[in-house]
C-alpha cells in the first residue's frame, strides 16, 4: 500500500512539474548564457554573460556583462526589449506577446554567435570611417591586436567594443548605422 501511494504521489508530482511551464506571454525571471573568450588580454579568457530578465515582454531586459579574467566586471549594458521591438516592427510581427517573447529568447540565443567575436578587433588593412567615434582608440586597438565584440541594438544598429589598455576600460570603436 505504501509503495502504491508513493508511486502515485511521484507520478502526480512529475505531471505537475511537466505542466508548470511558463505562459507563452511571459518568461521565467531570468534566462542566461555565458562564454569565455580572450578580450582584455590576448591569452587569458574573460567571461561574456548575457541574461534576459522580466516576466512580461514590456518588462524584459537583456543585460550584457563582461567580467575580466581577474574577476572584475569591465562592461555592462542593459537593452530594453521595448527598444529592440521598435527597431524590428517593420520586418517582424511583434504585435503579439508570444512573438515578442520568442523574439527576445532568439536574441539571447544569438548574442554569442561566432561572428560577433572579432579576432582581432581591427585588422591592419582596415581604416577608420565616419562611424568611428574615437580615432585614437581605434588606432590603439589596431596596434594592440586585441579582440573585439559586436552586439546589436536594432536591425541596422551595431556596436563594436574593445579593450583600451591605455584607459583600462571597454570602449566603443565602431558604431553603425543608427
Q: Are 178 and 155 in contact (CB under 8 A)?
A: no
d(CA 60, CA 52) in angstroms, rounded, equals 7
Instruction: Find where cell 556583462 sits.
Output: 65
Beta bridge partners of 47: 36, 67
Quote the Cα angle for 165-172-112, to 5°. 100
| Higher per-residue pLDDT: 11 or 164 | 164
Tens digit of each residue's pLDDT (9 = 90 or more) over 63-82: 999 999 999 999 999 999 98
Per-residue pLDDT, 95: 83
Contacts of 118 (CB under 8 A, 6+ apart): 147, 148, 149, 150, 160, 162
> Over 50: is that where the pLDDT of 13 sits?
no
> Over 70: is that where the pLDDT of 26 sits?
no
Tens digit of each residue's pLDDT (9 = 90 or more) over 89-119: 656 778 888 889 999 999 999 999 999 999 9
> Over 90: is that where the pLDDT of 143 sits?
yes
Sheet with 157-164: list strands edge to edge. Answer: 117-118, 148-154, 157-164, 169-176
DSSP letter for each residue of 96-150: SHHHHHHHHHHHHHHTT-GGGEESSSS-TT----TT-S-HHHHHHHHHHT--EEE
pTM to 2 decimals?
0.80
Per-residue pLDDT, 156: 78
Per-residue pLDDT, 93: 76
Lowest mean pLDDT among 90-94, 159-163, 168-172: 90-94
- Residue 49 host element (H or E): strand 45-53
Band the pLDDT of 6: cuts 50, 70, 90. very low
Amino acid at each position: 500500500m505504501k509503495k502504491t501511494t508513493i508511486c502515485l504521489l511521484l507520478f502526480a508530482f512529475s505531471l505537475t512539474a511537466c505542466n508548470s511551464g511558463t505562459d507563452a506571454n511571459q518568461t521565467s525571471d531570468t534566462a542566461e548564457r555565458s562564454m569565455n573568450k580572450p578580450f582584455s588580454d590576448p591569452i587569458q579568457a574573460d567571461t561574456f554573460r548575457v541574461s534576459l530578465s522580466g516576466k512580461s515582454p514590456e518588462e524584459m531586459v537583456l543585460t550584457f556583462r563582461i567580467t575580466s579574467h581577474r574577476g572584475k566586471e569591465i562592461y555592462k549594458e542593459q537593452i530594453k526589449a521595448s527598444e529592440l521591438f521598435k527597431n524590428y516592427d517593420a520586418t517582424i510581427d511583434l504585435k503579439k506577446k508570444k512573438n515578442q517573447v520568442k523574439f527576445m529568447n532568439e536574441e539571447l540565443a544569438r548574442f554569442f554567435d561566432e561572428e560577433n567575436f572579432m579576432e582581432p578587433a581591427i585588422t591592419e588593412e582596415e581604416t577608420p570611417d565616419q562611424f568611428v567615434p574615437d580615432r585614437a582608440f581605434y588606432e590603439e586597438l589596431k596596434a594592440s591586436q586585441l579582440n573585439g565584440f559586436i552586439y546589436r541594438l536594432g536591425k541596422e544598429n551595431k556596436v563594436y567594443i574593445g579593450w583600451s589598455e591605455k584607459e583600462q576600460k571597454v570602449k566603443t570603436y565602431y558604431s553603425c548605422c543608427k
